[in-house]
Each structure stands twice: as structure tokens, then as C-alpha cells.
Amino acid sequence: MWIPDLPTDGSPLFHQILAALERAIRDGGLKAGERLPPQRALARTLGVSVGTVTRAYEEADRRGLTLGHVGRGTYIAHAQETDSARLAGPLVDLSMNVPPMVAAERVLMEAWGKVRRRSQFAKVLNYGPVEGLPEQRQLMSAWLTHTAGVDAIDPTRIVITNGAQGAMDLAFSTLCKAGDVILVEELTFSGMKAIAQYRGYSLAPVAMDDEGIVPDALLAVAQATGARVLYTMPTLQNPTARTLTLTRRQELIKVARQLAITIVEDDVYAAYVDRQDAPPPLVNLAPDITYYVSGLSKSLAPGLRTGFVAAPSTEAAARVAVGLRLCAHSTQTMGLLIAQQAIEDGSAEQILKENRKLLRTRGSAIRTALNLRPGPLESMSPHVWLPATQADATRLEAQLLSENVRITDISAPVVDSSRGCGLRFCVGAPRRDADFERAVGAIQRVVNQPPDLSLRAAI
């Protein structure tokens, strides 16, 4: 059985095990196809926790050093397997905008062990208050201040929901009825399109530029349609990754006040932006006309199903809570308790820190492959946008799929087909670095084809 020789340099134990594994592979001590010892057996031999060994094995798998087979164990990857990862292999999905899950799987597993010992555990097995427990609403208020720069919000204005998508639906159900028109960016979140289709709303696209939604265009479309609700994602907008400057935000709010427009601000990606570089959220600038929506699915883990909407007043929050009671009786509790544990003990901050680092590295690789330069704050985005004609976007999407790389359907964010088009690449979903690197290689090959076949992007 392989037993690593661990140094006593003070580095985390899982780092030491991983480094020893890399050395053994490099020096020939571990050969391709050789089986590693079971995690429990190695943990017992080294006198460390199973979680420590599991973390090292998971990282080795993510780097493509090993291959895990359920029921058979973990093996050193064959050279041809690691080499061919750049050329062929299973489908790599860059279509789902989810955070990397390696950190969350490891850290939240540890948090779950603590959750079971919490005094609240038995309480959350039953129905709770519709809008969430008071201490949890207070915690979410503090989390938003810490991660998104939101001014302290009275917890009575916060309703905890089943994901940010649920928060969006509740906000619009409070503000709109079937047949109403909602103003949106001309390229918008596909979930907004789904809500509109299901609830019978009409979407009025507003022109964007390199900064995001254009205030003059907002004024013109609102006057032409009579719409009085705006859905916008001002920070790392999905799909374009654009961020409104402070000046642009102030101009947008001026138009909203002029026409009595209520804003639904979707800020799910704000946690990835360095606070010193980020403009304040719209809710800070216009709290009386803004419903602020966010959640933990894009920053920590989708399975927590924890979202929240901060309404302009306690009375408005109560109306949102009525909608929540009608559709779900109350917010979910178990995922929320796990999130609470992770936030309180620092695990959530650890996950967010690791995710930020990985996403920025991967985003840089994608942009290099696409010959793109990031705009302000775009280097922090978990998604990369390539403007393109519809014909070029369709061709590139098909060529990448032939290379076993899937990207977001080109029609997903388009509100009006006569307006802009492009391709969205989501960098968080691939679990293994080797798979992601294979996708980057495929993108480079497709983009750098001879001129008659290459992508002619309107950048």
C-alpha cells in the first residue's frame, strides 16, 4: 500500500498528501493504472481524518492525476488518458451557470456534521415562519452587507425564499398581473423569460451598450409601452457580464423616479466582485422603489435552495410573504440551516474565496481562447460573453458540440431576435481541471480555424 512521506512544514495535511502524490507520480513511485489505498485505510495509517484524505483525493481527481471508479477505487490516470483529455472524452458542459462544487462538497459536508448538533435541528423539521426565522433574516441581512455591499436592511423587509428564481417570481407576482409589460435588458436571464411565459407577462427589451442598459433607451421604451416595472441585473449581468457604473446607475434611477418605475434588482453575482471596485447596488441608491433579489445558488451551492427578496418596506415584504404561503406555505428550512451554519462558522466565506480564485483563473483562460479582453469587473464573472452574429454563433455552437463541448443555447437570453446575439460560456460547472482545459483547447481550435470558417465576431 502506498504510504506518503509527509513533511512537517505546517501546511494543511491534505496539501501534504496531494504534494506527496504528485511527487510519487513524477518520480515513478506510483505508475499509471496503480490503485491508491482506500481513503479510510490511508487515513487510519496516517492518523488523520477521512475527510482530509478525501479532500486530497478529490483535488487529485480534479487535476486529472487520478481516475475514480465507483465500487472499484481510485487509480493513477494513464498517460494516454490525461493526454487525450485535451482531445476527446465525455461531454464538457459550459452551459450551466453554477459555482464550482469541489469546495462546497468538501466544506458543506463538514458543516452538515455540525448542523445535526444544533439546537435548531428539531425545530426546522417542522413548518417555520413563512418568511423565515427572525435570526435567519438577520443573518441574511448581514451576509448581503458583507458580500454585496448592501446597506444594512431591516430584517422585517427580508423574505427568505426557495432560491433566487423563487424570489423573482414572488416579487413580480406582487407587482404585476397577467398581461402587464416588464422592462428588461435586450439580452436577459433566461429564467426571467420563463417566468414571463408562465405568468403571462410581456417583456419589453431595452437597448444595452458596453456598460449595460442605456437610460435614454429605458425612458423611450417605458414611455412607448407604459411599463412601470424594470428587471435588471446591474452587476456582472447575465449573459453579458457587464456592470453599470455609479453614474449610469444614478441615471437609471432618475428615469425610474421620473416615470414611477419600480425596480427589481437581481444581484446574484455581486459576491464575486471585489467590494472596493464595485459600485453600490441600486437598492442602496433607491431603497424605496427597489425589490432586491439575491441568493446562495450562484455563490455557494444551488442545492441549498436559499434565496431572498428585500422589499422596499415591511408592508411590501408582508405582501411577498402572502405569495410565498400560497405557493409553498413557508420557506424551506433544512438547506437554510446548513447555509446558516456555513455562514456563522466561516465555511461560506472559505467556499466563496476558493470559488472566486478558480473562476477568475478559468475565466481568463476562456477569454484568452476567444481573443477577448475583459471590460471593467468582467474578469470576476463566472460567465464569459462573446458577441456574434446569429449565423456565426450557430456555427460555433455546433462546432463545439462536435468537440463534445456544450455551451448555452444561443436563443436562451434573446428577447427579440432582431437585436443582439452571442454565446455564453459558463466556467464553473466542470469539476475536473482536465475537462475544463480540454474545453478550452476545443474553443481555441474552433476559433482559430482558417478565415473562411472562423468565427467573425462583432466585438
- C-alpha to C-alpha distances, 173 to 160, 203, 251, 279, 291, nearest whole angstrom: 16, 15, 27, 29, 12
Mean pLDDT computed over 221-228: 98
Instruction: List the grid coordinates of 25.
Output: 507520480
- Which of 369, 356, 368, 339 minimizes the C-alpha distance to 441? 369
- On whether both 287 and 368 belong to a single domain, the answer is no
DSSP three-state, residue 304: helix
pTM over 0.85: no
Range of lowest pLDDT (78-87, 371-380, 388-397): 78-87
Report the C-alpha gap between 263 and 206 in whole angstroms: 14
DSSP three-state, residue 299: coil
Q: Are 4 and 17 in contact (CB under 8 A)?
A: yes
Residue 34 pLDDT > 60: yes
- On whether both 315 and 189 belong to a single domain, the answer is yes
- On whether both 226 and 372 belong to a single domain, the answer is no
- On whether both 186 and 302 belong to a single domain, the answer is yes
Total of domains in the chain: 3
**Residue pLDDT, tens place only, 361-381:** 999 999 999 999 888 899 999
DSSP designation for 272: G
Domain boundary pick from 330, 345, 360: 345
Q: Return all residues near 234 (Cβ < 8 A) that are at least 6 apart.
A: 212, 213, 243, 244, 249, 252, 265, 267, 279, 281, 282
- Is residue 1, in this structure, part of any structural domain at all? no
- Is residue 201, in this structure, part of any structural domain at all? yes
pLDDT at residue number 450: 59
pLDDT-based confidence at 78, cuts 50/70/90?
Answer: low
Q: What is the rounded (10 degree) CA torsion for 257, 259, 260, 261?
A: -90
pLDDT at residue number 233: 98
DSSP designation for 101: S
Mean pLDDT computed over 443-454: 70
CATH code assigned at 364: 3.90.1150.10
- Is residue 459, in this structure, part of any structural domain at all? no
- On whether both 188 and 298 belong to a single domain, the answer is yes
CATH code assigned at 177: 3.40.640.10
Rg (CA), the chain: 24
- Is residue 86, in this structure, part of any structural domain at all? no
Domain boundary pick from 312, 327, 345: 345
**Residue pLDDT, tens place only, 325-365:** 998 888 888 888 889 899 999 999 999 999 999 999 999 99
Phi, psi dihedrals of residue 176, rounded to the nearest 5°: -130, 165
- On whether both 221 and 126 belong to a single domain, the answer is yes
- Is residue 44, in this structure, part of any structural domain at all? yes
- On whether both 167 and 226 belong to a single domain, the answer is yes
- Is residue 245, in this structure, part of any structural domain at all? yes
Domain boundary pick from 277, 312, 345: 345
Give kind and range of the element (H or E) at residue 392: helix 390-402
pLDDT at residue number 85: 42
pLDDT at residue number 131: 87
Average of per-residue pLDDT values in the chain: 88
360: domain range? 92-106+347-447
Give kind and range of the element (H or E) at residue 103: helix 102-115
Give kind and range of the element (H or E) at residue 353: helix 347-369
pLDDT-based confidence at 132, cuts 50/70/90?
Answer: confident
- Which of 226, 243, 227, 308 minimizes the C-alpha distance to 282? 243
pLDDT-based confidence at 167, cuts 50/70/90?
Answer: very high
CATH code assigned at 53: 1.10.10.10
Report the C-alpha gap between 236 and 90 in whole angstroms: 30
- On whether both 158 and 194 belong to a single domain, the answer is yes
- Is residue 162, in this structure, part of any structural domain at all? yes
pLDDT at residue number 166: 94
- On whether both 226 and 336 belong to a single domain, the answer is yes
**Residue pLDDT, tens place only, 96-105:** 999 998 888 8
Give kind and range of the element (H or E) at residue 209: strand 208-209
- Is residue 456, in this structure, part of any structural domain at all? no
- On whether both 298 and 352 belong to a single domain, the answer is no
